[in-house]
Chains A and B, each alone.
Chain A
Amino acid sequence: QVQLVQSESEVKKPGSSVKVSCKASGGTFSTYPINWVRQAPGQGLQWMGRIVPFVDIANYAQKFQGRVTINADKSATTAYIELSSLTSEDTAVYYCARAPGTYNSDPFDIWGQGTMVTVSS
């Protein structure tokens, strides 16, 4: 069974960047999309983007275009999300979530434990 293990919490200054990792173990990595979803304190879930490691194609939510980069290292079975120009509004728990296939109908069936990113001066 695939497990997703994310990197530890981060504290960042406004204007800086953060990179969060998501390592997959126990199954095939490159075939399945990895999505990134964030949740601000007390708020709902927000889809940010995804990558299909096998073809190295990423798609992003319009809200984050130009400020987010999602990539993957197939040899390390790890996906990454990098968010730049951080503000306090980026303070959130960032989750990675796998889809069991590349069809648009495939849901997010396996989730990482979440990484808390705090943006504070």
Chain B
Amino acid sequence: QSALTQPASVSGTPGQSITIPCTGTTSDVGTYKVVSWYQQHPGQAPKLMIYEVTERPSGISNRFSGSKSGSTASLTISGLQAEDEADYYCCSYAGGSTWVFGGGTKLTVL
């Protein structure tokens, strides 16, 4: 179970849109429509932002959206705000009741 691949960092200016890709394999992202995204601010526990590729939990802004094509899932944040600056992790079901995370992406709001 290798970690999913994410860029180490992305950046954007307030109001812009950014997209964070998450690349897996046919053993995880490519096979299962079970990708979730987590936001983590320094010193805090992760927070669920997207589940089942495109679904938003109650209370999560519609500025956050998810998609998937083949073995790559993506998180898009529109209308960037300073508070969006955080680390973001994707996570996929990998079969056999196991899950795998991405390496994480640090989002900087310039």
Contacts and interface: CB of A to CB of B under 8 A. Distances in A.
B65 interface: no
Nearest to B45: A111
A63 B1 contact: yes
Interface stretch (A9-17, A41-49, A71-79, A84-92): A41-49
Q: Could you say which interface size class chain A belongs to?
A: 20 to 34
Interface of B: 1, 3, 32-34, 36, 38, 40, 45-48, 51-52, 57, 89, 91, 93, 96-104
Interface in A99-114: 104-109, 111-114
Contacts, number: 65
B103 A105 contact: no
Contacts of A95: 45-46
A105 B33 contact: yes
B97 A47 contact: no
Given A46-B101, A47-B99, A109-B51, 8 more contacts: A37-B46, A44-B104, A45-B40, A47-B100, A61-B1, A95-B45, A107-B52, A113-B45
Nearest to B6: A44
Contact of A59 (B32, B51, B96, B100): B96
Contacts of A97: 46
